[in-house]
Amino acid sequence: MCNIDPILFPGDEALVNDSLRLLQAAEPLKAEPCVRRDIETHLLRTGTYLWQRVLRDVEYWADIGVRLRSPVIFRESMIRIVGLWNIQSAINKQTLLNTANGVALFDIADKKVQKQTHRKMEIEERLRTFFPRAMLHPPSNDPAAATPGRAFYANDVYYWQALTLVRQYIVKETMAGHGYSAGDGGSMFYNAIGAGGGSYIRAVDLEEWHKKFDMTAKGKQRLRDSLNTVKEEMRSVVAELMISRSNIPRLPGDYPYLTSTEFKDEELPWYTAQTLGINHRAPVGPANSPEKGNDGSLFVAQSPTTPASGGPTGTVPRGSPLSSSPNSGGKNSSETSQGSVKKRKLS
């Protein structure tokens, strides 16, 4: 508020903790716009350490992303929340609801999951009814073109056998609940289809198949080639689910989940018409007196009318994200925020 750079202790853990305490101190003073940019900058400087904290306590950090109006922190948090929405041991929905912006965040995540589930159902139906281009013989508009005869379809016998094997795998996996209804959102199943090659229906599976349907060596090779063609073309069906919109490293031994969730600028909770260049008249009247909150944790349940605690207490309550100290590892490039507010000077 006085254009003085914050004095923060060195070290990743202290830098993150002090930055969050600065946010907590600014909120009851309605001074968040003055410090958001500095806080986000200092947080992103810790790199991998910050992202490990985010992944471990993602419910709190989604709320912090809204309070800071940080697109990068919000997006990374919500991508994980949506990807692991159906795994209770990974996402604590009650903890999310108890944060200051928890109701809005819960609604955003739930709507994203419902939309993705509908799309995954469409993709799985497409997988079950897919035909590779090499098998298609549609009618031609050219009167001189010959109508496909028995010889055309006789040559496709290996494609039909390969397609039968792939469809059998897809139906088996989806009926077993490994698709859209799985706890991981179908991550392992869709990734297998997206990888193609030897990720499913491997050579050992073909050997078992040939115990029922024997072939010559040349026939076996043609079947393998046809199988690779079918699997390669099927990758395009799940391509949109293979997009990764997360730029942070996973935790060691983490749950598998999809990171294709997209949050456009207009989907950010703090998005307003000001983003479109519309100016709003400042309210006329006496300034409101800042409310005084109770001392406590940085992450106590809040409401829009109940600001966070005032000054920092210097101690971190046990059980809050500030008390955890994940191991840092790897290098993560800092991403510039798209919605940070410039520091204002006071004359």
Question: Cα separation of 297 and 313, whole Å?
Answer: 9
Is pLDDT above 50 for 280? no
Question: Computed over its alpha carbons, how large is the radius of gyration of the chain?
Answer: 27
- Percent of the chain scoring above 70 in pLDDT: 78
Q: Which of 255, 256, 248 is nearest to 195 (CA)?
A: 256
pLDDT at 155 (0 to 100): 87
Model confidence band, residue 274 (pLDDT cutoffs 50, 70, 90): low
For position 299, what pLDDT does the model report? Answer: 52
Q: Is the torsion defined by CA of 111, 114, 119, 122 positive or negative? A: negative
Report how far residue 210's alpha carbon sits from residue 243's, in angstroms, rounded to the nearest whole number: 36
Residue 249 DSSP class: P
For the cut 50, the answer to whether the pLDDT of residue 26 exceeds it is yes
78-87, 179-188, 265-274: the lowest-pLDDT one: 265-274
305 has pLDDT over 60: no
Q: Which of 12-16, 86-90, 235-239, 325-329 has the lowest mean pLDDT?
A: 325-329
User: CB-based contacts of 254: which residues, under 8 Å, 6+ apart?
Assistant: 55
Cα-based distances in Å from 97 to 63, 70, 93, 135, 286: 10, 20, 6, 52, 34
Range with the poorest average pLDDT among 67-76, 206-215, 325-334: 325-334
Q: Which of 275, 302, 267, 290 is nearest to 67 (CA)?
A: 302
* pLDDT value at 185 more than 70: yes
Task: For residue range 100-158, list pLDDT tens digits in order.
Answer: 999 999 999 999 999 999 999 999 999 999 999 988 989 988 888 888 888 888 889 99
Position with higher pLDDT, 91 vs 329: 91
The pLDDT of 18-26, averaged and rounded, is 93
> What pLDDT band is residue 278 in, cutting at 50, 70 and 90?
very low
Q: Is the pLDDT of residue 92 over 50?
A: yes
For residue 265, the model assigns a pLDDT of 94
Q: Are 59 and 65 in contact (CB under 8 A)?
A: no
């159902």: which residue's tokens? Answer: 121
pLDDT at residue 310 tops 60: no
Question: In the chain, how long is the greatest CA-to-CA distance?
Answer: 90
The DSSP secondary-structure symbol of 39 reads H
Residue 194, pLDDT above cutoff 70: yes
Q: Is the pLDDT of residue 196 over 70?
A: yes
3-state secondary structure of 306: strand
* 264 has a pLDDT exceeding 80: yes
How many CB atoms are located within 10 Å of the residue 260 CB? Answer: 22
Residues 6+ apart with CB under 8 A from 15: 8, 9, 42, 43, 45, 46
CA distance 231 to 222: 14
Where does the pLDDT of residue 67 fall: very low under 50, low under 70, confident under 90, or very high at 90 and above? very high
Per-residue pLDDT band at 315 (split at 50, 70, 90):
very low
Backbone angles phi, psi at 148, to 5 degrees: -55, 130
pLDDT tens profile 31-56: 999 899 999 999 999 999 999 999 99
Cα dist from 290 to 31, 32, 134, 307, whole Å: 10, 12, 70, 9
pLDDT band at 4 (very low <50, low <70, confident <90, very high): confident
Range 305-320 burial, b when 16+ CB lie within 10 A, else e: eebbbbebeeebeeeb
Measure Cα distances from 307 to 100, 106, 247, 314 in Å: 9, 20, 32, 19
pLDDT at 327: 42
* CA–CA gap between residue 67 and residue 99 (Å, rounded): 11
